[in-house]
Amino acid sequence: MQYFTEDFVLFFKELSQNNHKDWFHQHKKRYENSVKKPFTSFITKMIEEIQRYDASVQVDAKDCILRINKDIRFSKDKSPYNIHYTAFISKAGRKDKSIPGIFIRFSPEVVGIMGGCFMPTKEQLQKIRTIISENPKKLRKLLENDDFVQKFNHIKGDVMKRIPKEWQDACKKEPLIANKQFYFVKEESPELITSTSLVDTLMEYWKTMHPVNTYLLRAMQ
């Protein structure tokens, strides 16, 4: 099924050149019809497909879709709107980005597909490090899976600049213990947005990331 027309991408191209409230309000109906409504339908379908494999994901599309309005309180760029559209699907939705899930971002330049743990709390991070240190091979086996490597390559994330003494030996055995984040990224062509295989393609990415997401979720509990 095709969820989006070419106007989805065109809307954001034009918004990037006219990022102010007057233009947006003049094109509000277009935004509703070409962006918000089809994106909501698309995310609803993604959630339904994910629930076939993970019943813990009991959220609605509205719980997962991020606002188009930017938070400009601490930004030098005061333009009011994001020039991409984003959703974060997990059992907690967008309200808790410490929970592993799939992060989907559509822009005129790229489709961003991300998984893992973006913003773990200190307590969650401590638990993840402990679980990894107890059996480093378990996580390493998941990350060296051929399908995972082909789609996402490797885990990314900020790393501790100074490793506490309690973790120094463990980090020598498994450097990922020094990570402060555990996420992975894939970029696809924006042509995917208007493709009839959009949901199928993204579900293949979700299935590949799911074992790693599950490992991280269990580790932090």
1 lies in some domain: no
Q: Check pLDDT > 90 for residue 42.
A: yes
Reported as a single tens digit per residue, the pLDDT across 178-210 is 999 999 999 999 999 999 999 999 999 999 999
Q: How far is CA 8 from its chain centroid?
A: 20
182 lies in some domain: yes
pLDDT at 78: 85
Mean pLDDT value of segment 131-140: 96
Q: What is the domain count for the chain?
A: 1
* 108 token code pair: 């005129």
Three-state SS for 56-99 is CCCCCHHHHECCCECCCCCCCCCCCECCCEEEEECCCHHHCCCC
CATH number at residue 166: 3.30.930
Q: What is the pTM for the complete model shown?
A: 0.95
The span from the CA of 97 to the CA of 100, in Å, is 7
188 lies in some domain: yes
pLDDT at 174: 96
* 129 token code pair: 């490090």
Q: Check pLDDT > 90 for residue 137.
A: yes
Percentages (nearest 5) of helix, strand, coil residues in the chain:
55, 15, 35
198 lies in some domain: yes
Mean pLDDT value of segment 97-107: 97
46 lies in some domain: yes
100 lies in some domain: yes
Q: For strands 85-89 and 101-106, give the pairing.
A: antiparallel
Q: 54: closest CA among 209, 219, 220?
A: 209
Place of tokens 């994901």: 57
Reported as a single tens digit per residue, the pLDDT across 67-93 is 999 987 877 888 999 999 999 999 999
Q: Which domain holds residue 89?
A: 6-220
